[in-house]
Amino acid sequence: MKIAISVLLAVAVLVVFWRVGGFDFIKYDDGAYVFDNPIVLKGWSLEGLKWAFTTNLQAHWHPLTWLSLMTDSQLFGTDPGAYHLVSLGFHVLSVLLLFYVLTEMTGAMYCSAFVAALFGLHPLHVEPVAWIADRKDVLNTFFWITTLWLYLRYVRKPRVGRFVLALVSFLCSLMTKSMSVTLPLMLLVLDYWPLRRIAFQKQETAMAPSQPPAKSAPKSGKGSRKKSEKTRQAYAPSSLAISHRTTCGRLLLEKALFFLPMILSAILTLAVVQELDPSSSTLTNTVPSLSTLARSILGYAHYLLQAAWPAKLAIPYTALEGFPVGKTLFSLCVLLAISFLACRRWRKSPYLLAGWLWYLITLLPVIGLIKGGPGIQADRYTYVSLVGIFIMIAWGSAELMAKVRYREWILGAAATVCILCCMTVSWAQVGYWKNTVTLFHHTLAVTANNDVALNNLGFSFLEAGKVDEAMPYLLNAVRIKPEDSYIHVNLGNAYKEKGDLEKAASHYEKALSINPKYASASYNLANIYLQLNELDLCEKYFLKTIENDAQNFMAHTNLGAAYSRMGKSTEAIAQFRESIRIQPNQHLAYYGLGLEYMNLNNLEEAEYAFNKVLAFKPDYERAYCDLGTIMMLRKNYEGAIRYYAKALEINPGYEKARQLLAQAESSK
């Protein structure tokens, strides 16, 4: 039966999510993680390995996430469908592993299957699966659940090796996303239920707390009694019997090696956020304000509402300005009521308190209580957290229906309807992730004043060359949020495409005044000054770009071009070579290098550079023309004629090549 349920779970998830294999990158963080990241695009390399473990790009330290994406790049290049399918694969594995772990911990196969199905198919969980940039969440959850499985093996048979494996899995989880800092606390919750390793002063009754009262034995014979007992156990049996129970103090001591990396990871995360934005957090002042507490209360209640009624899902949600007192008080009352019920029934229905603590604890890093953490709600934050709520629903329903006749059929039908509803809504939600335009058009339809959606739509139209369509979105975005450096850069790009370099430069300068370390703003401003031939300013902003983004190979290439115009051949060659070191498979740096060597009359190096250009861009007519010139200098007129003719074959309107061809033919 376990195999059959596992197959059904996998098929259901694949039916809902399989379309992502044909989806595009989303131009909202996917660039930073993949298609605009030269180190990731290189695939496996020693440089990439070192970078993955030392960078804090995207305000995270998650080396395993970077290594996962580098592996995809090594295997699949820049095919977005492959990246999507890898994320889907991790999601399917997590669903199956969750089903297995819960079944092994509780013995309740059907309840565990229902929880795994909701985890795999709930609409709130579309975002982490369909968004390549959120690979960190699917990886993190995979290691998170793997840690639970390895911990269960240790609990069943305590051995140092098994404990070490669980600890290593936890460390891997931390290296995919720091949100798993709460996992050691969750192990303590699992010690309470379903593992029941905690020894309380009062002894439990013979019937386990999570087990509903058994029905009277049927009078139809031994076969019926056996079937009834089997069915009862499949829905809500007693929690896993652990022969050795111990005190809370001993269990805390047992988790000491888990708490150490947990604390270090939390400190590292706060330090990274503070380094990137010194005004956002401090390590010494982390006491939340009243408004922060209110937003956290609203966040907890909001996720509960979305879990029950997943409507108007969006990325991103708009930030909450202030907080409504009435709504906050009502949300607080709901949270307190659930907490009271869970605590009141901590013995008779321990799954309620365990599930509720699962939900509250796992959301702590992202609910806004901790300064430096995210302040805006997001569907992906519920990826692990809602499992606790699903446990409360699954085991609670089984207990409530314990004395109802035909409860197996009723529970089965209700679960089927619930799962089908999730599949239907998730199918529609998955479709919005087809590309950037479909995603953010949907976001604008379900949110108000969403500057991020407007900016990303404008950016998408810009990349498609539709400047006039992009402008209204960008102007509306900057009206909503005038102090956003990203919007100003995109507006600068739009004005640059329209030929208004003055307005473009003003928006780049505004972006730099907001964020002086914004490399894209300084890079684009430097290119404008290069175009205007204001070489001193051009040099200044290219150097500023490289200071903040040393891996920007085009900044090195264009700075080399600026130095070439300034007559600084040595500096130009150094910049071209650095650009090639960062990104070997490009033609522009090699072309600039070839021109510099020609100016220095180093024809051998120039010829090598131009041939490298043609290796990466075989239709680059300028390289053929310059190779022809090298042949002319060597008085190899037949070779020169051949190269000039090839340049004209590629571009019949290339007048310079035509004139040089005539000279070569007359010299011959």
Q: Give the Cβ contact number of residue 514 at 10 Å.
A: 16
Residue 217: both structure tokens together = 């034995």
Cβ distance 168 to 147 under 8 Å? no
Looking at residue 265, its pLDDT comes to 85
Contacts 24+ apart (CB under 8 A), 524-528: 524/489, 524/492, 524/493, 524/496, 525/492, 526/555, 526/558, 526/559, 527/558, 528/496, 528/501, 528/504
Looking at residue 201, its pLDDT comes to 53
pLDDT interval class at 375 (50, 70, 90): low
Residue in the block written with tokens 């290049």: 77
CB-based burial label for 193 (10 Å; 0-12, 13-18, 19+): buried
Residue 52: both structure tokens together = 């993955």
| pLDDT at 320 > cutoff 80 | no
Tens of pLDDT, residue by residue over 419-437, are 999 999 999 999 999 999 9
Q: Is the dihedral angle over the CA atoms 131, 136, 142, 144 positive or is it negative?
A: negative
Looking at residue 199, its pLDDT comes to 73
Residues linked to residue 246 through DSSP beta bridges, in sequence order: 198
State the chain's mean pLDDT as an integer: 90
For residues 49-58, average pLDDT: 91
Looking at residue 433, its pLDDT comes to 98
- Higher confidence at residue 216 or residue 113? 113
pLDDT interval class at 274 (50, 70, 90): low
Looking at residue 273, its pLDDT comes to 66
For residues 72-78, average pLDDT: 96
pLDDT interval class at 276 (50, 70, 90): low
| pLDDT at 519 > cutoff 70 | yes
Tens of pLDDT, residue by residue over 630-667, are 999 999 999 999 999 999 999 999 999 999 999 999 98
Looking at residue 287, its pLDDT comes to 61
Alpha carbon distance 280, 257 (integer Å) = 30
| pLDDT at 512 > cutoff 60 | yes
| pLDDT at 668 > cutoff 80 | no
Residue in the block written with tokens 């075989």: 618
Looking at residue 319, its pLDDT comes to 77
Decide: helix, strand or coil at residue 26: coil
Residues linked to residue 198 through DSSP beta bridges, in sequence order: 246
Cβ distance 503 to 493 under 8 Å? no
- Higher confidence at residue 570 or residue 203? 570
Looking at residue 472, its pLDDT comes to 96
Tens of pLDDT, residue by residue over 537-582, are 999 999 999 999 988 999 999 999 999 999 999 999 999 999 999 9
For residues 246-274, average pLDDT: 84
For residues 478-499, average pLDDT: 95
Calculate the dihedral angle through the C-alpha atoms of 44, 45, 46, 47, rounding to the nearest 10 degrees. -120
Min mean pLDDT across 183-187, 258-262, 385-389, 589-593 is at 258-262
Among 138, 139, 132, 124, CA closest to 27: 132
For residues 228-256, average pLDDT: 65
pLDDT interval class at 241 (50, 70, 90): very low
Residue 618: phi and psi, rounded to 5, are -65, -20
Among 381, 384, 372, 391, CA closest to 299: 381
Residue 403: phi and psi, rounded to 5, are -105, 5
pLDDT interval class at 280 (50, 70, 90): low
Looking at residue 209, its pLDDT comes to 38
Chain centroid to Cα 234, Å, comes to: 36
Alpha carbon distance 81, 481 (integer Å) = 33
Residue 127: both structure tokens together = 């975002």
Min mean pLDDT across 94-108, 125-139, 217-231, 262-276 is at 217-231
Looking at residue 204, its pLDDT comes to 43
pLDDT interval class at 278 (50, 70, 90): low
As a whole-number percent, the residues of the chain with pLDDT over 70 amount to: 89
pLDDT interval class at 271 (50, 70, 90): confident
> Domain ranges in the chain?
2-199+246-275+303-433
| pLDDT at 217 > cutoff 60 | no
